[in-house]
Structure 1
Amino acid sequence: MSHTTRFRTAASCALLIAPLAVFSTACDGDGHPLSATPYDASGQVTLNAVEGGRIDPDKPLEISTKDDDGRITDVTATDAAGRYVRGELSADGTRWRSTTPLAAGAHYTVRVSTEDEDGAPGRRTVAFETKPADKLLRVRFGPDSGTYGVGQPVTAELSAPVKDRAARETVERALKVDSQPRVDGGWHWVNDKTLHYRPREYWPAHTKVQVRSALAGIRVGDKLHGGSSAPLKLTIGDRIEAVTDAGSHQMTVKRNGEVIRTIPVTTGKPGYDTRNGVKVILAKESFVRMTSASIGSSDFYDLGVYWATRVTWSGEYVHAAPWSVGSQGAANVSHGCTGMSTENAKWFFDTVKLGDIVEVVNSGGAMMTAFDNGFGDWNVDWAKWRKASAIVPAGSHVGSTPADAARLRPQV
């Protein structure tokens, strides 16, 4: 009986194993392909790489049989991280070709299963390395690891611009944000080199956040592959929210939903109206020198200001303003900042942390912009936020100018 006949008999017996287990020993004949020791198929198949050699990761991996010497039945290719390479096998089994890019500078193991003209199984295992990338795309996550407020977005700064939508999808899928508890969140492409991540709603208090990049070695574009990047760990603290009503001249501060202080304030006077909207605390400075020249004001001033909590890069603060105590709670007389007594400013400074929320309502000022003057991310509604994701099917790119941290123009 030929090998082919034995193979058909074995296949027929295999169908009987489950319903007729008592007869399974009748199929245990010696020598059929399913039980045969695979032969060495090294002489039967070729790869576009030699064992121990390096191949170009920008080219597909190809495996083929020599002439008409049998056929390929299966190919498994994995890198050292356990990532599989998808591929397609031709209908006649003579050629397999990868359909996903190889990683650069990676070690691969390829296991090829074959079958000769008599149906006998063969095996070949090949190990090889891919060439290092010509150019690496690295990611710098922000902010620094630590404890932040519920409004703190995660930022990702890329070392090179990524414009192509398919390349953006590759990058975005490799930027991993894990949190406990889990949240509904997503990345937003601010521009070609900057992404922000935020939940749909503020982070839950006491959330643990871990951010990492899985881009290392992955092909992003022509001659551009992902490089290694340092991970990020954040702890979200209590939910601290300060809402300033410019109309009633009062700031209400809450911790985890409970009001803990109501503070008389003064905000921007006409022509210097404080921006409306949600802002995120960027920095805390115990002393700042504020001058009229820094904001181009015709009203001259040059003041040393204490307990200054920054909410925009252009110089909007919550700070001590002992010179305006008589107007606090009654009128808006500042040049854009939120002023309060020294005692209240010190209490506010000591109570809040980076990432906490400061919201202004009922001001005559414009709305806080999203990305060019600090973290105005929460002023973008969720539907629009998701449209600037590369992996949302119905989304489309929405660009913006990145925040320019060099524009430190204090307002008083």
Structure 2
Amino acid sequence: MSHSPRTRTVLSCTMLVVTLVAGATACGGTTDHPLSAAPYDAASQVVLGTASGRAKLDPDRPLEITAKQGAGGRITDVTATDAAGRYVAGKLSADGTRWHTTVPLAAGAHYTARVSTEKADGSPGRKVVTFDTGVPAKKRELKVTFGPDEGKYGVGQPIIAELSEPIEDKKARAAVERGLRVESQPAVEGAWHWLNDEVLHYRPKEYWPVNATITARSTLDGIKVGERLWGGESAPLKLTTGDRIVAVTDASSHYMTVYRNGEEINSIPVTTGKPGFSTRNGIKVVLGKEYFVRMRGTSIGIAAGTSESYDLPVYYATRVTWSGEYVHAAPWSLGSHGAANVSHGCTGMSTGNAAWFYETVRPGDLVKVINSYGEEMDPFGNGYGDWNLDWKEWQEGSAVHGTGAPRTPPAAQQARLRPGT
């Protein structure tokens, strides 16, 4: 993501007045200003909030620089930067009498403003001034926690940003998005998507590149986000990706085909969900791996003692939904692998194949189910189904590129339901 100026909303005015000193007006003919002439210091009188210039400015108010009326001069340019060298966006009036910031200043920050002016006869002037902003009373801090944990992931892993305060207003959401920077090497196009008032996901238009380095960080520290809400310090995140592993399970042919970087590396006979328990269609991101899981029918609403109930030790379990859909070893249904769908929603295979799959994939890799009678994978309610939205739909969930409307996940994601088979 680019380091563009932070977008903020203009409120009321804190005056930084540049008073232009009146000078002689040219009398007919042409006016020549040789390079050897001393420049006209039209910005010699500067007031920062108070006459002393030592008071800290209120970051709740925009910075304004004006030319003294009747002095016969104008402002030609103003450049304001913070201590890190980042530019503060501003706007100069057409007549050169007023310049003001179009984004709020950061709290507790140091700024430098370079003001260029011109007298009526064209004589130039320039002044460099510095000032500090204070910290508002009753300030609340917005902190950002990035996820997942640092490490190596598959190319489908989304970046998660959890906010310490709910953000509902679209303008505030846009300010947050612009302050959350995600960069990858190699570079790719990407965008944030709001799941609800406190959680955002970031993914690229396509999958992450193979063997990429991805960093996520917040530049919101000191930046005003909402009413008495300012960005706080947040720890950055660094991830890397491995090969592009995509496992495609065809529920109608009862086979899983595994691809590495576009090339087939294995074809595995499987069984998926039987009628009434059909496996979800769509793209799922591997959430984690568990060598051993105890799977019980009661965890998915099957009453104990009924014909569908079960209580089984399961090995080499690769999780793809929070509600308990796995790819795992199912030696009890070996005769149905490659021939029939007999599970309660998971993808079962032989112990040897499950061990191979378990060792081959990592969190962030992709499992795609096709030709099942099951429902479509929810984009956010039951794991990372982010890739089931096309790029246009994904951008619509951004406050910068779309409406930024919240998508509150159902309770299933919060409950992290126990697994089924």
TM-score by length of 1: 0.85
Q: CA deviation digits over 1:281-311, x for unaligned, max 9?
A: 0010111111111111132222221111000
| C-alpha distance 128-301 of structure 1, shift in aligned 2 (>3 A) | same
Are 1:211 and 2:211 matched, yes or no?
no
Structure 1 position 348, deviation (Å): 0.7
**1:58: which partner in 2?**
60
Per-residue deviation, 1:103: 1.0
Match of 1:23? none
Question: Residues 10-409 of structure 1: matches in 2 within 5 Å?
Answer: 12-13=31-32, 27=34, 32=37, 35-36=38-39, 38=41, 41=44, 44-49=45-50, 50-64=52-66, 73=75, 74-88=77-91, 96-113=99-116, 124-132=127-135, 134-298=139-303, 299-392=308-401, 395-402=402-409, 404-409=413-418
CA contact (8 A) 1:142 1:232 kept: yes
Structure 1 301/128 Cα, relative in aligned 2: closer, same or farther at 3 Å?
A: same
8 A Cα contact 2:170 2:399, kept in partner: yes
The answer on whether the counterparts of 1:88 and 1:99 sit within 8 Å (CA) in structure 2 is yes
How far residue 178 of structure 1 moved from its aligned partner, in angstroms, is 1.7
User: Which stretch of structure 1 is more off in the superposition, 297-306 or 357-366?
Assistant: 297-306
SS in 2 for 1:325: helix
Q: Which moved more, 1:223-232 or 1:238-247?
A: 223-232
Q: Which moved more, 1:116-125 or 1:166-175?
A: 116-125
147-156 or 177-186: bigger deviation = 177-186
CA shift for structure 1 position 353: 0.4
Query: Structure 1 unaligned runs (5+)?
Result: 15-26
After superposition, the Cα gap between the structure-2 partners of 1:357 and 1:8, relative to the gap in structure 1 and judged at 3 Å, is farther
Q: For residue 82 of structure 2, what is the amino acid of its counterpart?
A: D
Secondary structure at the counterpart of residue 393 of structure 2: helix
CA distance, structure 1, for counterparts of residue 188 and residue 122 of structure 2: 53
TM-score, with length taken from structure 2: 0.83
**How far has the Cα of 1:276 moved from its partner?**
0.8
For the 8 Å contact 2:42–2:118, the answer to whether it is kept is no
Q: Would you say the 8 A contact 1:7–1:119 is kept in 2? A: no
Identity of paired residues, percent? 61
- AA in 2 matched with 1:234: L
CA distance in 2, matches of 1:8, 1:88: 34
- 2:16 corresponding residue in structure 1: none
Q: Please give the root-mean-square deviation of Cα atoms over the aligned residues, in Å.
A: 2.8
